Amino acid sequence: MSTNFNPTAIKAAAGELGLIMHEMSVFTDLKITVPNAGTFEVAKWLEGIVQDRNDAIWLHAEHLQVALVAMEATLTEIANNFANTDGENADKIKSSIDNLQTEINSDVSSYDSTSGKPAS
C-alpha cells in the first residue's frame, strides 16, 4: 500500500481550518448582551440563566478557536516536514502528531483554570 501526499492541499486545508473561527464578532456581541427580563424575582432568575448560557457559548467558541488554530499550525508543520521527509523529519512529524492533542487540551485547560469565564 502506498501513501499519496499533497503538501499544498494540506497547507490549504490547514489555512481553512484556521479561518473557521477567525471571525468572533458574533460571539463577542453575544458576550456583551445583557438580558433585561424585568425586576421581579423570576425575571432576575431567568436573566441569570440566559447570561450563564451566553458565557458557556462564548467559552465553547474560544475552545474551538484554540483547537483550530493549533490544528492549522500542526498541519502546516506536518506538510512542511513531509515535503522534505527523511528519517529525522519523519520523527518530527510523528512528534507533531503525537503532541497535537496534548497541546490543545493544555491550552483549553489553562484558559479554563485562569479565567473560568470569558474575559470582559
User: To 5 degrees, how large is the angle CA 1–CA 71–CA 22?
Assistant: 140
**Cα separation, 89 vs 79, whole angstroms:** 11
Assign 9 to helix, strand or coil. Answer: helix
pLDDT of residue 85: 66
Within 10 angstroms of residue 94's Cβ, the number of other Cβ atoms is 12
For the whole model, what pTM was predicted? Answer: 0.63
pLDDT, the chain, mean: 81
Structure confidence by residue, pLDDT tens digits, 72-111: 999 998 888 877 766 566 677 677 777 877 877 777 777 7
Which of 3-12, 18-27, 73-82 shows the lowest mean pLDDT across its residues?
A: 3-12
C-alpha distances in angstroms, 50 versus 26, 30, 47, 95, 117? Answer: 16, 11, 5, 43, 14
Percentage of the chain surpassing pLDDT 90? 28
pLDDT of residue 89: 64
**Residue 117 main-chain phi, psi, to 5 deg:** -145, 160
Domain spans, the chain? 19-115
